[in-house]
Structure 1
């Protein structure tokens, strides 16, 4: 007599459930990653490289104007009062300056402020910060002289009670232009 082997149904075995679990996790994680990618697009990508390349020349023109005017600036950010104090030396004294503190990776942490010239000290400009700023930033100081915009731009590490010096480094990318 033959003995019939009783086989249990597939859903009572562990291996089909392990395979189903792996597939379910893969689909769930894939959909989660797609949702995150769609809801949080990358802001650092530039679609028009030609225009960005042309912008480098405009930027260098502004920095070369600042160099021609022999501009230097000392920036002090007071953490306690939130005051931004800029001392400008050189051959330009606009009534207002624009100070931009740009985060290299997080646009929501960028800060822009207008600095007003002090009436008692013509080389001093004062503005107000809205919050505490620390870490690596691109510091950009803009002013206008005779209808032309000049620019001091450097990468700085901002920390408590440390003055930032702008205009003391060579202009990157302009080494060949001075020849």
Structure 2
């Protein structure tokens, strides 16, 4: 009886150890790439003081009810080529400046704010520094921040040559 001697190659010349090492390496690589992307593109959609913001909804409603009692409404037009923003305000109050907040729904880094200057009889003009695309929420107030007396809101999809209505209400 002769026993044939089969030579077994060393582990580094076999398929299965390299297959398992490859699975492990690919999962680690994917995890590190995913971690890097999630840190870099953090959307910040939930504020740190979300509870206080939730309680402040009554204050926002009061501002919009006040705008409604003053009979305030506005029509906005945006020129896609020049970046000019023109707002025609109708109602009792006409301050010297208006604050327009352009809020991007999913990325707070893209939010913009403008100060619009009064030029004549309810017309306000301002300019955005970069082209607006996609959908935006609009908030028009006589002052910046939470201390404003009233607020008008609207929604727009840019670029658009249509008039955008800004009205009291959520």
Residues of 1 paired with 2:53 and 2:165: CA distance? Answer: 27
Residues of 2 paired with 1:41 and 1:96: CA distance? Answer: 34
Runs of 5+ unmatched residues, structure 1: 173-179
The aligned runs of 1:9-28 (5 Å cut-off) are 9-28=10-29
Residues of 2 paired with 1:96 and 1:17: CA distance? Answer: 68
The aligned runs of 1:120-131 (5 Å cut-off) are 121-131=120-130
- Report the Cα offset of residue 148 of structure 1: 5.5
Number of matched pairs: 166
- Aligned counterpart, 1:3: 4
Change (3 A) 1:74 1:66: same
Residues of 1 paired with 2:41 and 2:157: CA distance? Answer: 27
Change (3 A) 1:79 1:35: closer
What secondary structure does 1:34 align onto?
Answer: helix
Does residue 1:164 correspond to 2:164, yes or no? yes
- Aligned counterpart, 1:51: 52
The aligned runs of 1:1-179 (5 Å cut-off) are 1-118=2-119, 121-143=120-142, 149-167=149-167, 171-172=169-170
Change (3 A) 1:96 1:43: same
- Report the Cα offset of residue 160 of structure 1: 2.7
Residues of 1 paired with 2:100 and 2:49: CA distance? Answer: 26
Runs of 5+ unmatched residues, structure 2: none
Q: TM-score, normalised by structure 1?
A: 0.84
- Report the Cα offset of residue 36 of structure 1: 2.4
Change (3 A) 1:5 1:148: closer
Residues 5-54 of structure 1, C-alpha deviation per residue, up to 9 Å, x if partnerless?
Answer: 22121221112111111111111111222222233333112233320112
Residues of 2 paired with 1:33 and 1:60: CA distance? Answer: 40
